[in-house]
Amino acid sequence: LSLAAGHAVFFGAGEFDEVSKIMGAVRVEAAKRAGHFEEGVFRFCWIVDFPMYEKDEDTGTIDFSHNPFSMPQGGLEALETQDPLDILGWQYDIVCNGVELSSGAIRNHEPEIMLKAFEIAGYDRDTVEEKFAGMLRAFRFGAPPHGGIAPGVDRIVMLLADEPNIRETIAFPLNGNAQDLMMGAPTELEEARLKELHLSVRKPQPK
C-alpha cells in the first residue's frame, strides 16, 4: 500500500452490500474532511449494465436484482443460453456528485421474453399469466419498444442548494412517521368507507 506517516487505512468485513454502503459513506466523509471535494462543480455520470438477476444468499435461488420488467440485454437468446447471473438488463441510472438523480430502463415489451425472464426467477407461466394478464394482453396486441427516465426536480434542487436532506427541497415533505403535517394526513377512514372497500383495520395491541 506504500503507507507513510499520516496515512490511514479503513477496512470492513461482513455482507458485501452492507459493507459497500458503509465504506462508501466513510470514503465520502473522509474526502470531505480532507478537502478533496470540488466546490461549485457538478460531475455527471451514467451507470449502466446492471445485472438482471442475483442469487439469494439464504436460499440459493435466482431472483431479479432490480426491475423485473426491464428488457434483458440479448433478449430471449440470452435468457435461454446464458448463465442467469451473467445476463445484464437494459437499465441505467444518472448520478451527479454521487447522488442518484433518477433510474430508468428499456421496458420488456415481448410476451415470450417476459415469461422466460420470470421463469428463471421461479415463476411458472400460469402464475405470470394470472398476475400480469392485462400487461401480457396488451403486449400481444403489439407494444413498441419503449423506455425512459425522469430525474427528480427535488434532488436536483437539493444538489444546487447543497442541502443534505431532501425533505428540505420537497414541496410537501412527509415527516419520519410518513405524516403530512400541513394536510393532516393520513386521516382515519369512516367505518362505512372501510366496509365499502372490504377493508378492516387492525391496530397494534399494547405490549
33: number of Cβ within 10 Å: 9
CA–CA gap between residue 31 and residue 37 (Å, rounded):
6
Query: Among positive and negative, which fits the CA dihedral 173, 175, 179, 180?
Result: negative
Summarised one tens digit per residue, pLDDT across range 25-66 is: 999 888 888 888 888 889 999 999 999 999 988 888 999 998
Peptide bond into 186 cis (omega under 30): yes
Q: Are residues 103 and 151 in the same domain?
A: yes
pLDDT per residue as tens digits for the range 4-19: 998 888 889 998 889 9
146, 64: one domain: yes
d(CA 117, CA 108): 10
Q: Which pLDDT tens digit goes with each residue over 132-147?
A: 999 999 999 988 999 9
Domain that holds residue 25: 1-37
Residues 32 and 91 in one domain: no
Same domain, 92 and 13: no
The residue with cell 479503513 is 10
Grid cell for residue 86: 451473467
| Domains: count for the chain | 2
